[in-house]
Amino acid sequence: MTDKEYRILYEKSSREAQNKIFDEYFNYVYAIVFNKLRSCASKEDIEECVSDVFADVFGHFSTETSHSGDMKGFIGTVAARRAVSCFRSISAKNGKTVPMEGSDADSIADDTDIISNTEASELRSILLRLVKELGEPDTAIVMQKYYYGLNSKEIAEIVSMEPAAVRVRCTRALRKLKEKLTALDINLKEAEA
């Protein structure tokens, strides 16, 4: 969702606009907050921090007019900053600190990059939705070629077409898909990753 789309929806109904942002970005925000607070916070603390993130976001977008474009980066930044603030507060209250140097840091390190995994999952969902919007037989052709790795001859047998027709349809479908991704400001190489 872009800032412009949010503001248009906000003018109609502030509650509906806020619900849409919450539904669209909840998993993303929760992943960021959980990743930062999992070592020191309870489930309730994490949920409270997530709520605070959305309160900050709603407060910003109800008054600020200088932001434009996609809201995801802004929301991710707010989530990370709020989670760090909560981490410091909880650690200070409990009198605990988490060592970040030496061998102790290696024992708490986690190779999982939740933010990247969440973003990749979101891109795959968008890509799958756009492929389905192509309609048949284009959806079947693209799925068979890029998901199952079949060649034009094998796909032609499945969709009852000539191999040359399959190649033409595939080229056109990819062009349409690229246009849809560009309209959403998504790079095709980024979506394939």
CATH, residue 97: 1.10.1740.10
Cα–Cα dist 66/61, whole Å: 9
86 and 126, same domain (yes or no): no
Would you state the pLDDT for residue 193? 46
Would you state the pLDDT for residue 191? 45
Low-confidence ranges of the chain (pLDDT < 70): 1-3, 61-70, 94-113, 187-193
Cα–Cα dist 182/49, whole Å: 34
DSSP-based three-state secondary structure for 2: strand
CA-based radius of gyration for the chain: 22
95 and 66, same domain (yes or no): yes
pLDDT in tens, 94-104: 665 555 444 44
Strand partners, 70: 2
125 and 180, same domain (yes or no): yes
135 and 62, same domain (yes or no): no
- Which residue is it, tokens 């507060």? 89
- Domains contained in the chain, number: 2
What's the gap between Cα 180 and its chain centre?
17
9 and 38, same domain (yes or no): yes
57 and 135, same domain (yes or no): no
CATH code, 183: 1.10.10.10
72 and 134, same domain (yes or no): no
147 and 106, same domain (yes or no): no
101 and 140, same domain (yes or no): no
Would you state the pLDDT for residue 140? 87
Record the pTM: 0.47
* Peptide bond before residue 163 is cis, with ω within 30 degrees of 0: no
104 and 120, same domain (yes or no): no
66 and 43, same domain (yes or no): yes
Close Cβ partners of 123 (under 8 Å, ≥ 6 residues apart):
186, 190, 191, 193
| Residue numbers of the domain that contains 155 | 116-192
Q: Which of 110, 138, 172 is the last residue of a domain?
A: 110
Extract the tokens encoding 163.
């191999």
Extract the tokens encoding 27.
């998993």
